[in-house]
Amino acid sequence: MRIKNICCIGAGYVGGPTMAVIAQKCPKVKVTVVDINEKRIKQWNNPDVEKIPIYEPGLSEIVKEARGRNLFFSTDVDKAIDEADMIFISVNTPTKTYGIGKGMAADLRYIELCARQIAAVAKTDKIVIEKSTLPVRTAAALRDILDSTGNGVKYQILSNPEFLAEGTAVEDLKNPDRVLIGGEIETEEGREAVDALVNIYASWVPREKILTTNVWSSELSKLTANAFLAQRVSSINAMSELCEKTGADINEVSKAIGMDSRIGSKFLKASVGFGGSCFQKDILNLVYIARTFNLKEVADYWEQVILMNDHQKRRFAANMVQTMYNTVAGKKIAILGWAFKKDTNDTRESAAIYVADYLLNEQAEIVVYDPKVTEEQIYSDLDYLGSRSGDANRQAVTVVDSPYEACEGAHAIAVLTEWDEFKELDWQKLYDQMLKPAFLFDGRRLLESKSKKEIGFEFYAIGN
């Protein structure tokens, strides 16, 4: 089966970069990324590629190369579905905010809408691919919806979860550890569909890294991978608190355990808490699934990863207040970094939002600097929490374009994203501008401590 036309529904953090790389690597395949969000599509089509809606190192160059050649962004969802042989569903699957499973289960309404739209529009056979992260057995629901139109169109449903991490999306897509494809490998049609997708990836990924499984294993592997990764962060963060009480240093502990090849050195960096759109939502979803099968111990076990993460964010903020003589009311606190990690403009579930909210509840004045996050986004993140009115957020929080401006006259600095540029700041200059004693809280273990203490900072770093 030769694929000539690909459609991807959802032009977000996954759909955009993934399709850009497919288009770059398969120049003979036409790739159309569609979205109902007109503003987002307009941004993807911005003649100035530096203004595309997602910041990822290397992405704008790829968009520049492929856009208009075989990569297109459009709001005409029906047309793209109609023309495609292969349709990726890459829409958001947030945590439900209403009804059964509120606060836990994945909200599948956008997925279902896509399936219904495909069923309504398709006139020729299609391979439909779950790119979004979904609860195990979602493919069965998709099949029900797609098969119920009775118009004779045949569908193959594949699961092809995405493992890219933001900030390194392009590199992860170009050189993935593995590509996972789940399909009905026991039937001939199912195998053909799997092969068609394998062939797309094989344009640049070595065959031995392309793993094929049954659909359910593929769906569950994605949730499992995120749960394991998040668990490592919560595990090291749990140890960071113990380090602070005992004189051990979390970086030394990480190094010591990471050299054990069975443990491995990656994902052992203590932090103010993991953020991002997926770890929390996917674990909550996993917990919910376990609960629906009455697997109480399994559910409780994984839920602890989230509880530990919430504790870490709260504990960091509480420690700031305690260190600053138990009050931050009326004090100016500079937050350096708002994104949930470096090299992305994504702020979803960023620890910075929760630390700022905690400090605002203590009546601090906050000034934020982040090299990639807009003022509009920062206010929208705080407003979304609903802790106070939009006006109150705008009164208590200022967003500035320079770290030096942020720190002028501040009582304290909190480093909450590990942007490389923060290491290179003129820390003496920052210190000179601040009120004394000048507190510096490093939530990322980014800064070298000795030189900061020599300058005169009251320096606190997580896990030290």
3-state secondary structure of 61: helix
CB of 114 to ligand NAD, least distance (A): 5
Q: Sketch the per residue contact string, 152 through 171, with ligand NAD: x for CB under 6 A, - otherwise.
A: ----------x-x-x-----
Stretch that binds ligand NAD, among 32-40, 56-64, 314-322, 441-449 (CB under 6 A): 32-40
**Catalytic position from the list 131, 222, 313, 331:** 222
Q: Is 53 in the site for ligand NAD (CB under 6 A)?
A: no
> Which of helix, strand or coil describes residue 438?
coil
Other CB atoms within 10 Å distance of the CB of residue 293: 9
Residue 42 CA: distances (Å) to CA of 68, 74, 374, 381: 14, 8, 18, 23
Q: Which residues bind ligand UGA (CB under 6 A)?
A: 133, 162-166, 226, 229, 233, 267-269, 271, 274-279, 340-341
423 vs 436, which CB is nearer to ligand UGA?
423
Return the one option of ligand UGA, ligand NAD, none that residue 284 interacts with (CB less than 5 to 8 A, by type).
none
Best CA proximity match to 227, nearest among 179, 269, 279: 279
In this structure, the number of other CB atoms found within 10 A of the CB of residue 101 comes to 18
Cα separation, 44 vs 40, in Å, equals 6
Is 407 catalytic? The answer is: no
Annotated catalytic residue, options 278, 331, 332, 452: 278
Burial label, 338 (beta-carbon count in 10 A; 0-12, 13-18, 19+): buried
Shortest spacing between CB 427 and ligand NAD, in angstroms:
32
Nearest distance, CB of residue 52 and ligand UGA, angstroms: 18
Helix ranges (DSSP H) in 293-365: 296-323, 351-361
- Residue 204 vs 267, nearer CB to ligand UGA: 267
Segment (H or E) for 181: strand 179-182
* Candidate list 8, 35, 334, 357; residue touching ligand NAD; CB under 6 A: 35
Cβ–Cβ < 8 Å for 128, 112: no
How far apart are CB 161 and ligand UGA at their closest, in Å?
A: 8
226 binds, among ligand NAD, ligand UGA, none (CB under 5 to 8 A by kind): ligand UGA
Structure tokens at 415: 């480093």
Q: What are φ and ψ of residue 32, in 5° steps?
A: -115, 125
Catalytic residue (one of 56, 162, 241, 418):
162
Where along the sequence are the contacts to ligand NAD (CB under 6 A)? 9-15, 34-37, 40, 77, 90-93, 110, 113-114, 132-133, 162, 164, 166, 277-278
Active site residues: 162, 222, 278
